[in-house]
Structures are given as structure tokens and as C-alpha cells.
Structure 1
Amino acid sequence: MRLQLYLRAPEGWPIVVEQYSTVDYHTGGEPFRIVSSLPVSIEGVGVPAKRVYAMQSPGIERIRQILCFEPRGHADMYGGFIVEPNDAGAHFGVLFWHKDGFSTACGHGTIALGVWAIESGLVAIDPSEITDVVIDVPSGRVTARVHTDGEIVVAVDFINVASYLLAEGVPVSTSLGEVVVDVTFGGAIYAQLDAASVGLTVTPEDAAAVIAIGREIKWALNESECAVHPSDERLSGIYGTIVYETLPPHPGGAVHQRNATIFADGELDRSPCGSGTCARLATLTANGTLVNGATLVHDSIVGSQFTARVLERVEADGHDAVMPQVTGMAFKTGEHVFTVDARDTLTPGFVLR
């Protein structure tokens, strides 16, 4: 929400100050800034069309930059504008954003929105203590299945759109030599690279090198044939590169991997990446690593963890696909009223990457 306040400068002239209210969460260490009210309308019939409108609107772009860029945000910031859903079948819609624009999907953000919807009272807790928060996002309709203990949220299942392998064993020329990646749709399109194949580990010590190779692969494949979505051009393009490593089986026998997802232009997801985990589920199912009923334990570069499993096998866009469920938790980090002084020459802000 934006208000206009009038302050008095020493010479007596009024200074207009913009204000934007947000509620902030983190999911597995990855921020998510929720903006439930905007001073401008986002036009379009349905969330996908609203995303296109927002991308083309200088006014909405300016607000995104104010809330994402320094000095109010940073180069790895993430957030979303709450908008009307496609129809009465969802509680609300959301436009996800990062430092470079508006994304098509965001699993960690969906988990945060599920917690926010319950904790804010927007959606009432079901007496069963399992409450479905239904959200329209640019890639389709998703569900944040919120588990509660009394009135306390204890976990959220992110149930995504159908996810499927687009291309397997794609060669890419990079500064580290030719690498081979798989390309999969999980609400957004991801290239996936085995860290060991380029001598890297998914650890903070190798973070800079992981970001560098992730950026290279994304831009090398972004306009390639394997990055074309089969039914909706608005979902085309490589959203991110998942650099992963396989760990010893988790206690109980679950498949255990660690990943760093590099999205936008060099943003490193601190969480295990929700939609990226869905892409990994689809890839690991397609190549036989995940058998029916198996669980994927997915770690992030900072040690946070999601668990994931396939709910069912389906067909989507002419592909064998999976309906993925990713379980995690989000925690509120604060409520903010950000101000913009009309005299501030650094508005809407800046990023250094």
C-alpha cells in the first residue's frame, strides 16, 4: 500500500514521501517479500496476462525495483505482488519477481504464501489441521497445503503444476569445457548440471564458481530449441541452472542430493529451490533414479532441506510427467514500511550484479 505523507523541508516546501508496506518471510534461507496492496492496478485477464502487463508497465517495474534493489533490497532478493486469481477456484494470485523481472514460478515463495495466508487470517484453518491454500501463478494453479498444530503452522506441502523432462544429455560449450545437462520444466525451465562433472561441490566455498557456470549455461541455452515450452511461449527460456551433487542415501534409504539453483542473472537460491526440486523430481523419475513411492531429500547450499515425492504420474503437453509435492517451512522475518523520499536521487535503487 502507498500513502503520501507531507513533511516540511527547512525552506517550507512540502516533500512527498512514498510508502510501501510488506510482510517478509524466508523459506530455507531464501527471502520472500509479500506485497498485498499496490497503488496501481495490474491489468489483464488471468495471472499470466497480468505478468505480461507488469513486465511492460514502467510504473509497476519501478515499484518492483524499489522493493528489490538496494538500498531496500539486494541482488538476491525475491518477492511477489498479490493479485486477483484467475477465478473463484483460487484464494488469490501472485506475480513473482526477482532482481531482473517477473518469473513464472516460485516454490519457496508458494510455501511462504501458504504460511502467510494462515498466519494473517486470510485463509481460515481447516478443523482437520490440513488447509489447502490455492494460488494462481503464471505457470498455472498450485496449492500450498498447510499443516497446523492448533493455530501454529508446522509445515507446508507445495503441490506444483505437472513437471516433465524436455531434453536429456544436452551438450553445452562453457569456459570449463563441454558439459552435459538435462532440461526440465517444473513451472519454469531448468538446466541441470552434475557439479562433479566440472570439479565443483555445492558448498559455500565453491559458490562463486557455481554461480559462474550456472550463468554460462543459462545464457548458452536460453534461446535454444530445448528451452521452448511446448504449449505456452510465455513459459519459454531457461529460468535457471541447477548445479547438483549426489550424497549418500539418507537414513531410511531416500535419495539424497544437494543443489544450488542459479536463476535470473546470477542469483543463487539459498533454499533447495521449490520449483527446481520439482524439476529434479521429474528428471530423476524419468531416468529411473526415483522409483514409485521414493522420496527425494533435497539440501541447499546453506544446509536447509526440502523433502519431495511424486504424487502421481500424468501426461502433460505430450510428455510423461509427474505431479510433484515439495515439503518445507517458511518463517516470518518482519513487517516493513519502506519509504521513498522525493529528493532521493538513487530511486528506484541499484544492484551491483
Structure 2
Amino acid sequence: MDHRHRPVLPRPERPVPGGIPPVTASPSATAATQARPAVVRTTDYHTAGEPFRIVSEDLPAIPGDTVAERCATAIGPGGSGTAPRRGALDDVRRMLVQEPRGHAGMYGGFVVPADDDGAHFGVLFWHKDGYSTACGHGTMALGAWAVDSGRVAAPADGDAEVRIDVPSGRVTATVHRAEGHTTGITFRNVAARVAARKVPVATSVGIAEVDIAHAGACYASVAARDLGLAVTREDLPALTRAGLEIRTALASHPATWHPDGPLLSGVYGVILYEELPDTPLGAHQRNVTVFADGQIDRSPCGSGTSARLALLAEDGRLGPGEDLLHESVVGTVFTGRWKGEGVTEVTGTAYRTGEHAFSVDAHDALGAGFLL
């Protein structure tokens, strides 16, 4: 598949945030009438360096029959993934992700009921700007948390399967155990598919040829060297700027739309990657993923790795059972495996970093939080 287009130019006006059109939810399906909990308890993990803050209790009511419906409720009528409507639930997100309790790179999730008895629980993923439909690193952290907390039984030696409903569908975190310790987590994503190839996009540093793939969320991939950049900490400002320009330019591109509707449509993240020497097991790449309104994934990006696997498979660089060694800008690693027919698995590690009980003093002018 090789869809070619005329260059996509940056739009003069800011598009719908995240490229995701407003979702619909009944006005009665908002939690705006409830007060934010006095204390919010979290358990924090990091997966390959990317934080994940888990909230599993004392949440405002989140109406909906499925996780996807609850995600629409959280976003609110007329809101979008990176511009949710205010309400009690979103006040909790803002408090946890913004300073002084969080930071611009914070990520997390609200644990909610599963769609049916086939999953252990559901989750609504969130970041500094709003909500996302997929999160591979978060799924790995949730798998470790489910086993650590006893929510899902696990052997001292062997594997435990944690089934989780997310807004994009059902995913699985297989938690690998040895001598009573978790040694890794393998995330099996929803089906990944390629939507478009070599879409020209004009950026401030030149024309980028962008590949678009869906893997629970929509990702745009571009070779960093084609923009004169390298995936290094030194180039992060330029990488971030290019990622935002590409995301903005593709806001209305038809390849970013998902057949299941607006919640899954629009570019979520832009993956800027560079090639490294192949390993005996397959391809080797380093990437930085720019998502939301300029957030940088410290990990190699779990669902983004799924998108890269689909593209590499279509290029003939990965066959069933072959691996992608995928590095992040901070040097952490995921191993992605193409299973065929859109099925991908991504393996990494996740570790607990702390437990917290957050509160807001009624006299604190900065209690709701802020971002620089």
C-alpha cells in the first residue's frame, strides 16, 4: 500500500485539539455535579521511564455501559481528547497531573469496571492535556499493579494474564514471574493496521514523508534524519516542534479517521525514529514519540511500537515471530513482536515508585494545580 498525496501544509488556525473531533455524550452523563474527593489515593509506577499514576478508588461516578462510553463521559459533551470539559472527574485528573503534585510529563489512569466478565477491569488513560484511547506503557504498569496488589492471582514462577478493557478495545498484559518477582510484562494490543504511506507534510525544517498507522490510537511516523534531526536529548526541542507541526497539519487528513468513530480518530502521537543496526532477531530503531500538546514519551511508546511493527511488516522487514528492538530517547527498551494479521506484542518492565494520598487545602490558591 502506497498512498501518495500533495504536501499537507500547516493550518493557519489551530485545529480541534489532538485532531480528534468532539465526542458526543449525554449532558446527564457528566460527573460535573459531584464534588472532587477530599483525598485521592494513587499507586505510581514507571514503565521504561514513563510514569503511570493509578487511581482505583473514591472516584466520582462515571456513567456508561462500556469503557469507551465512560471515556466519552470523562471528555464531556463537545469536548475532545486534548480539550475535555470541566467536571469533578476531570478536576481529579488536573490535580494529579499538574504541578505541584504532577508535572507536564505525567501520565495515569482511572480504574473502572470492565465491559463484561471477560476482563478483570477497565481503565481510562489520561495525561496533562486530557484522555487517550490507548496506552501500552500504562497497560504494562497496570498488569504489574494487578499482580502486586493481589487483584489478579499470579504464580511465583510462570505467567499471569491480566485482561483489561480500554477505550480502543480489550488488551492483555501477561506478567512474567520468577522466584516471586515480576521480571517483565508483555502487552498484546488491539489490531494494528497501516492507513497511509509517504504522506508529504510541510514543516519548518522541510518536507516530511509521513506514514500513518492505527494501533489503538493513530500514530504518524517519520524518519528523524529526513528532517535533519537525530533522536537525542539535544534535539528534543526541535523534535518536539516538528512533531507538533506534523500533528497539526494532519488534523483533518482522512487516513487519521477510524471506522469506529471520532473517539479513535485523529493523530494521537507523532513518532520520530532513526534506524540502528539490525539485531539477529530483527530490526532495531530508536524513537521519540510526541503526543498531546507537546508531551514526550520517556519510554519507547507501547502502542506506538505496535504501529511501528505494522509498518515494518508491510515493508517486509519483519515477518511473523520476528522482533523489533525499540529504544527510547532515554535509552530504555521495549521488544516488539509481529505475530501476523495485525496482532502485535510488546514486552517491557514496570516498577512501583510509590503510593500517595493527595489532598487540596481549601485556602490554597494553587490547589487545583498549574502547568509551566
Q: Please give the TM-score of this superposition, normalised by the length of structure 1.
A: 0.90
1:50-93 CA distances to partner (integer Å, 9 max, x unpaired)?
Answer: 00101116111111000001110011100000000000100000
Distance 1:193 1:59 in 2: 38
Confirm or deny that 1:111 pairs with 2:140: yes
Q: 1:46 aligns with which of 66, 73, 83?
A: 66
The residue correspondences of 1:245-324 to structure 2 (distance < 5 A) are 245-250=274-279, 252-313=280-341, 322-324=342-344
The residue correspondences of 1:209-220 to structure 2 (distance < 5 A) are 209-220=238-249
The residue correspondences of 1:173-252 to structure 2 (distance < 5 A) are 173-250=202-279, 252=280
Post-superposition offset of 1:95: 0.2
Q: Which residue of 2 aligns with 1:335?
A: 355
CA contact (8 A) 1:281 1:296 kept: yes
Matched residue type, 2:344: P
Q: Which residue of 2 aligns with 1:20?
A: 40
Cα RMSD after superposing both structures = 1.4
Post-superposition offset of 1:195: 0.5
CA contact (8 A) 2:207 2:227 kept: no
1:160-208 CA distances to partner (integer Å, 9 max, x unpaired)?
Answer: 0000101111111111122110000011000001001011111111111
Matched residue type, 1:340: V
Q: Which residue of 2 aligns with 1:346?
A: 366
Distance 1:351 1:49 in 2: 28
Alpha-carbon distance change, 149 to 128 in structure 1, aligned in 2, over 3 angstroms: closer
**Structure 1: gaps (5+ residues):** 1-15, 314-321
Q: Which residue of 2 aligns with 1:11?
A: none
Secondary structure of 2:345's partner?
A: strand
CA contact (8 A) 1:18 1:341 kept: no
Deviant stretches of 4+, over 3 Å? none
CA contact (8 A) 2:175 2:184 kept: yes
Distance 2:54 2:330 in 1: 23
Secondary structure of 2:235's partner?
A: helix
Pick which of 276-285 and 122-131 moved more: 122-131
Matched residue type, 1:27: T
Q: Which residue of 1 aligns with 2:16?
A: none
CA contact (8 A) 2:47 2:141 kept: yes
Which structure has the highest strand share of the two? 1
Matched residue type, 1:310: W
Q: Which residue of 2 aligns with 1:10?
A: none
Pick which of 259-268 and 48-57 moved more: 48-57
Post-superposition offset of 1:126: 4.4
Matched residue type, 1:73: G
Secondary structure of 1:222's partner?
A: coil
1:183-236 CA distances to partner (integer Å, 9 max, x unpaired)?
Answer: 000110000010010111111111111111011111111222121112332100
Distance 1:254 1:204 in 2: 26
CA contact (8 A) 2:59 2:89 kept: no
Aligned residues: 328
**Structure 2: gaps (5+ residues):** 1-35, 77-85
Alpha-carbon distance change, 180 to 49 in structure 1, aligned in 2, over 3 angstroms: same
Distance 1:142 1:253 in 2: 25
Pick which of 132-141 and 333-342 moved more: 333-342
Secondary structure of 1:212's partner?
A: helix
CA contact (8 A) 1:214 1:262 kept: yes
Secondary structure of 1:295's partner?
A: strand
CA contact (8 A) 1:55 1:102 kept: yes
Matched residue type, 2:319: V
Alpha-carbon distance change, 253 to 153 in structure 1, aligned in 2, over 3 angstroms: closer
Matched residue type, 1:289: R
1:87-113 CA distances to partner (integer Å, 9 max, x unpaired)?
Answer: 010000000000110100000000000
Distance 1:51 1:231 in 2: 14
CA contact (8 A) 1:129 1:150 kept: no
Matched residue type, 1:41: A
Pick which of 338-347 and 189-198 moved more: 338-347
1:261-301 CA distances to partner (integer Å, 9 max, x unpaired)?
Answer: 00001000000000000000001111112123221000000
CA contact (8 A) 1:107 1:273 kept: yes
Confirm or deny that 1:137 pairs with 2:166: yes
Q: Which residue of 1 aligns with 2:149?
A: 120
Q: 2:193 aligns with which of 164, 172, 181?
A: 164
Distance 1:327 1:221 in 2: 30
Distance 1:128 1:74 in 2: 37
Matched residue type, 1:264: A
Secondary structure of 2:44's partner?
A: strand
Q: 1:33 aligns with which of 53, 58, 68?
A: 53
Distance 1:98 1:284 in 2: 28
